[in-house]
Amino acid sequence: MAMDRGTLEQALREAFPDARIELKDLAGDNDHWSAEIISDRFKGKSRVAQHQLVYAALKGKMGGELHALALSTRAPD
C-alpha cells in the first residue's frame, strides 16, 4: 500500500504546522516522494536532526507505506 499526497501532507502538517511544504511524486506511484520543508522547528538543528524530526512525524511509515522520501529541510531565512 502506498502513501498518497493527502496522507503524507497531513502527517507533515500535523508535525510542522508553520511550515512551507512542497511535495513531488517522483515516480507517479505515490511511493517515491521528494519533500521540501521549511520550518522554524529546524532552527539550530543539524540536517540529521531535522530529518529525524520528519521521520518521527511519519510514525514508522518509512519503508512501509512510504518507500522513498528525498528530503530537503531548512529553517526560514
Q: 8: closest CA among 64, 48, 49, 50?
A: 64
Query: pLDDT tens for residues 33-72?
Result: 999 999 999 999 999 999 999 999 988 777 777 778 999 9
Domains of the chain: 5-74 (3.30.300.90)
Query: pLDDT tens for residues 10-28?
Result: 999 999 999 999 999 998 8
CA torsion 12-15-19-21 (nearest 10°) is: -10
